[in-house]
Amino acid sequence: MKDCPCGANFPYTDCCGPLVRGAVPADTAEDLMRSRYAAFSRGEWDYLDKTRLTGDNEPATTGSSHYRKENIAWTKLEILDIKNGGAFDDAGEVTFVAHYEENGESKTLRETAKFIKQDGRWYYSERQSKVAPAVKATSGKPFVRGKPKVGRNDPCICGSKKKYKKCCG
């Protein structure tokens, strides 16, 4: 069996599959976040619409997204932080990094997603979320400084014999 795209190390049929099929609702904001990522990676657009609130805090009926393109392959999900969003909360926040490839280029999407629970169901709240623009993956080459770094307690570069922090710093 194939592992779930959300990275939880369970088969999709036991992890996010039941949520995406609508058999069970998400228990927490993190569960909904993971299942939405799995839905993105598998092209389950109906589930994404059903679990998204519009600006009026009403469930979405249809939607569009930059990330629904055919040439995007979602490769990895990293959950960085979770604030609230438990089974007994009414709101939550999940900060994550989603890795993907677009036209053969590795990219990342970092987002702090807001979630709201309405009538016992978790929804992604588009109105409150801020999406950072996708950035090109770094080359992995370390930054090399051209000149030595001047520390705040080093002698000042102007020659005053004072500490840098008390003079030009």
Q: Residues 63-100: pLDDT tens digits? A: 555 456 667 888 999 999 999 999 999 999 999 999 98
pLDDT of the residue at 29: 94
Domain of residue 34, CATH code? 3.10.450.50
Tally of domains in the chain? 1
Q: Where in the sequence is the domain holding 80, given as residue range(s)?
A: 17-138
Q: Residues 124-143: pLDDT tens digits? A: 986 544 444 544 555 555 65
Give the global pTM. Answer: 0.69
Angle of CA points 2, 52, 127, to nearest 5°: 130
Q: Are 65 and 91 in contact (CB under 8 A)?
A: no
